[in-house]
Structure 1
Amino acid sequence: MTSMHLQVAPLQNPERYPLLAQALTDLAERWLGAARETVVVLIDDLPAARWYVAAQPVDRPAAQLHISLPAGQAGDGQKTEFITQALKALQRQLGRGEPLAVGSGVIVREVPPQHWGHCESAAAQAQGVA
């Protein structure tokens, strides 16, 4: 399972969320080797007045993307390319091509299998309940 938590400021139109989720899922599948059906994307938006860099509120769109994936799922080159492509996608979608606020970024964390637990798919759960 690949889990992504995207925080954005300022508040976005909720109609944009499916496009963001689609773009991030596509990138995870392509660059991180994630199985599409196991990619989870959580999106939180914040008022710009709640996002600070150097104790100053951001003056343009900002984004932080935190990704957790199983250790060994992707090599260093794949993770680097994912970060590059994810930043470009966020800048395109949130900044409309303009640079994002300083402090925006992407963080990839690898999680050892013994530190990861998640619910099975609905189909797998249904098979286990008899």
Structure 2
Amino acid sequence: MPRITLTIAGQPDDGLTRKAASELARLTGSVLGKALDATLVMIDYFPKERWFIAGQPLTDWGRNGFCLEVTLTEGTNTRQEKADYHRQAFELLADLIGNVHPHSNIHVLDCRGDAYGYGGVTQEYRYQHPRHLNEGDS
């Protein structure tokens, strides 16, 4: 179950929020092999005048920005898959948001299976007891 957290510099935009949520979930499924029905996406906005790169707010740069964090169970994706995801997610968000500062960033966070889960069940337990779980839970 990936958790996708996206923060976008600027004012809230419902259309952008829905499009980004849908496209990030789709990309996460296609590149990282994660089930769409177990993907959580949270999107928030942060004022450009309080978002600093190299000591200057984005308003001074005249640019947009984003920070994307994707939480995965450790060991479920290869280095190459994560590198591909970085590239494709940056391209996707740069296209959706437009005029992004190159220091907009992406963090793929590998969490230990015994410390990460949902529904009160760790991912390690899901791995150890697959027959007790629903198919969409992996």
State whether TM-score is above 0.5: yes
Q: How many residues align?
A: 118
2:91 matches 1:88 = yes
- Tell me by how many angstroms 1:14 deviates: 1.5
Q: Distance in 1 between matches of 2:37 and 2:75?
A: 19
- Tell me by how many angstroms 1:13 deviates: 1.4
Q: Distance in 1 between matches of 2:102 and 2:51?
A: 11
- The residue type paired with residue 46 of structure 2 is L
TM-score in terms of structure 1 length: 0.85
Match of 1:67?
70
Q: Secondary structure at the match of 1:91?
A: helix
Q: Secondary structure at the match of 1:4?
A: strand
| 8 Å CA contact retained: 1:33, 1:73 | no
Q: Deviations over 1:33-61 (max 9, x none)?
A: 11111111110101111101122101211
Match of 2:111?
111
Q: Structure 2: give runs of 5+ residues left out of the alignment.
A: 121-132, 134-138
User: Which stretches of structure 1, 4 residues or more, deviate above 2 A after TM superposition?
Assistant: none
Change in Cα spacing, 1:6 to 1:67, as seen in structure 2 (3 Å) is same
Across the aligned residues of Structure 1 and Structure 2, the Cα RMSD in angstroms comes to: 1.5
- Tell me by how many angstroms 1:102 deviates: 3.7
Q: Structure 1: give runs of 5+ residues left out of the alignment.
A: 125-130
TM-score in terms of structure 2 length: 0.80
What is the correspondence of 1:1-130 to structure 2 with a 5 Å cutoff? 1-58=1-58, 59-95=62-98, 98=99, 100-119=100-119
Q: Distance in 1 between matches of 2:85 and 2:12?
A: 23
Q: Secondary structure at the match of 1:115?
A: coil
